[in-house]
Amino acid sequence: MQKAHILIVEDEDVTRFNLRNLFEAEGYEVSEAIDGDSMDEMLKANTINLVIMDINLPGKNGLLLARELKNNRDLGLIFLTGRDSDIDKILGLEIGADDYLTKPFNPRELTIRARNILSRITQGKPEPENAMYSFNGWSLDGNSRKMTSPQGSEIPIPRGEYRALRLLIENAGQIVTRQELIKEMTGRELRSNDRTVDVTIRRLRKHFELDDNAPEFINTIHGEGYRFVGNID
């Protein structure tokens, strides 16, 4: 079996060196980049499965670079950064990162989180080919991972958002717990104070705001989870 390939995007030499040693010791193939330009070169020359990226980088910062990466359906992203404010964490997750860790970090925790993401990407169940869901004039294409509004606007959505919406649609009218959603989205268990699910639902609701006449498709069931209430065609 081919090794999973991790790209470390970090301009601090010692941190980058330590991360490379950490993941090579775990049996992964590891490449390095120090900024957006070198990251792009590595992505063009290699099949990368997971990017572990700092936010504070020379040139374009990690948040801007993540926006360019988020539509790659086969690429995982972990932010590993010293920026620990809730605003930065929420923004990073909203952009489409699979996870967000702050420095200093526990190496064992990082490798476990990376392994979970890689397992889902390289070995997990594939997205249903040609799966198409329609509701209230909207459509969700599982092949291209795009939503189309009733007006015909196409909206590419990150992998995590797609998986959350697909799970909600497939269980329309039923309560889907936050634990079920995080498991479908990331392959991991829900942690205390974890905002990943809430941020994802908020992002999905914003997509629907493109249609002024769209009802609220995702209801919050306080203390339990969320429920999709659109009319499935």
Enter the pTM of the model. Answer: 0.65
pLDDT at 72 over 80: no
Would you say residue 114 lies in a domain?
yes
User: What token pair was written down for 201?
Assistant: 């639902």
Q: What is the pLDDT at residue 127?
A: 55
Q: Which of 74, 106, 123 is the last residue of a domain?
A: 123
Q: In this model, does residue 58 exceed pLDDT 60?
A: yes
Q: 31 forms bridges with which residues in the sheet?
A: 7
What CATH number corresponds to the domain at position 76? Answer: 3.40.50.2300
pLDDT number for residue 71: 58
**207 touches 147 (CB < 8 A):** yes
Q: Is residue 118 predicted with pLDDT exceeding 90?
A: no
17-38 per-position pLDDT tens digit: 999 999 999 999 999 999 999 9
139 and 117 in one domain?
no
Domain boundary among 94, 123, 152: 123
Confidence class for position 185, pLDDT limits 50, 70, 90: confident
Q: Is a pLDDT exceeding 80 seen at residue 41? A: yes
Q: What's the confidence (pLDDT) of residue 74?
A: 66
Identify whether residues 116 and 222 lie together within a single domain: no
Domain for residue 233, yes or no? no
Confidence class for position 123, pLDDT limits 50, 70, 90: low
Range of the domain at 90: 5-123
Residue 183 has a pLDDT of 84
**SS3 of the chain:** CCCCEEEEECCCHHHHHHHHHHHHHCCCEEEEECCHHHHHHHHHHCCCCEEEECCCCCCCCHHHHHHHHCCCCCCEEEEEECCCCHHHHHHHHHHCCCEEEECCCCHHHHHHHHHHHHHHHHHCCCCCCCCEEEECCEEEECCCCEEECCCCCEEECCHHHHHHHHHHHHCCCCEEEHHHHHHHHHCCCCCCCCCHHHHHHHHHHHHHCCCCCCCCCEEEECCCEEEECCCEC
Residues 11 and 117 in one domain: yes
At residue 114 the predicted structure's pLDDT band, cuts being 50, 70 and 90, is: very high
23 and 114 in a single domain? The answer is yes
pLDDT the model gives residue 189: 74
When divided into structural domains, the chain yields a total of 2
Task: Find out whether 83 and 91 touch, Cβ atoms under 8 Å.
Answer: no
Regarding whether 154 and 105 lie in a shared domain, the answer is no
Residue 130 — pLDDT band, cuts 50, 70, 90?
low
